[in-house]
Amino acid sequence: MSEQYPDTPRSTYWRKQLSAWRTSGQSQQGFCKQQGLSYAQFQYWRRKLTASTTEEEPPARSGFVTVRHRPMEDAGGLTLVLPNGAELRGIHADNLSVVESLLRLTA
């Protein structure tokens, strides 16, 4: 992996763990939990051993997706101002279920 960090028993151990994680398809935390590894140590050795390598890691799977926002001109509809100052604008009959869900979250 990294040519800058010398081979020691500890670095060899962590290189094997990192290799196993890459082929496992698991998240870093999931892999550490399953293997009984300290996540903090895993992160330390991952950064240390991959600092000079060009090998790409699998993309992180956060569960989030990219959302693109398009500014809308005045969409009309109702505006609801909550006691905390938050505003819900553009309330229409077709999005009432979304508004209802948001209000439940704030309750």
Say what the pTM is: 0.45
Tokens of 10: 């500890």
46-88 pLDDT, tens digit each? 998 887 554 555 566 677 777 777 666 656 788 888 887 888 8
Strands 87-91 vs 78-81: parallel, antiparallel or unpaired: antiparallel
